C-alpha cells in the first residue's frame, strides 16, 4: 500500500463511521481520541466528517488505533501487525521483551514528536 493512497468518497465515509463508532464505544471526545492515537485534532476532525482525500500514515495510524481498541481485526494493517507479533513469538521472542521493545519505541516516537513540535 502506498503511503498516500487516494480515498474514494465511500472510503472516507467508512472512516468517518468508524471514528464515530469509536467515540461512542470508548465514550471519549474527538480530541481525546486524536491524542490517544497520536494524530492531530484537525486531521481527526476531518476524518470524523468524511473530509479526507488521502490515506496518509496518520490516517492509517488512526484507523489502526481504532481497530485495536475496539478489538476488530478487519484492517490489513491490524492483520499484518498480528502476523508480525506471531512471527516474533514463533522465532523464540517472549512477551516481556516484546512489551519492553514496544514501550521503548513508543517513548522514542513521543520524544521525536515533542522535538518536532517544539
Task: Indicate whether 31 and 67 sit together in one domain.
Answer: yes
Structural domain tally of the chain? 2
Residue closest to 14 by CA, chosen among 58, 84, 62, 82: 62
The CATH number of residue 33's host domain is 1.10.260.40
- Cβ(61)–Cβ(39) under 8 Å? yes
Q: Which residues contact 89 (CB under 8 A, 6 or more apart)?
A: 95, 98
Matching residue, cell 481504532: 66
Matching residue, cell 481525546: 32
Task: Indicate whether 67 and 88 sit together in one domain.
Answer: no
pTM of this prediction exceeds 0.75: no
The one-digit pLDDT tens for each residue of the chain (118 residues) are: 446 889 999 999 999 999 999 999 999 999 999 999 989 999 999 999 999 999 998 998 899 889 888 877 667 777 788 888 888 877 888 888 888 998 898 888 878 877 766 6
- The three-class DSSP label of residue 7 is coil
Residue closest to 65 by CA, chosen among 80, 56, 53, 75: 75
What range defines the domain where residue 20 resides?
1-72
Task: Indicate whether 17 and 54 sit together in one domain.
Answer: yes
Amino acid at each position: 500500500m502506498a503511503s498516500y493512497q487516494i480515498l474514494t468518497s465511500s472510503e472516507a465515509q467508512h472512516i468517518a463511521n468508524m471514528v464515530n463508532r469509536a467515540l461512542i464505544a470508548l465514550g471519549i471526545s474527538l480530541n481525546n481520541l486524536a491524542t490517544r492515537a497520536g494524530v492531530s485534532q484537525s486531521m481527526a476532525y476531518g476524518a470524523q466528517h468524511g473530509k479526507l482525500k488521502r490515506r496518509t500514515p496518520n490516517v492509517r495510524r488512526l484507523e489502526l488505533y481504532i481497530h485495536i481498541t475496539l478489538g476488530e481485526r478487519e484492517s490489513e494493517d491490524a492483520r499484518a501487525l498480528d502476523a508480525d507479533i506471531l512471527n516474533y513469538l514463533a522465532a523464540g521472542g517472549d512477551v516481556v521483551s516484546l512489551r519492553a521493545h514496544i514501550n521503548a519505541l513508543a517513548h522514542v516516537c513521543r520524544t521525536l514528536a515533542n522535538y518536532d513540535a517544539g
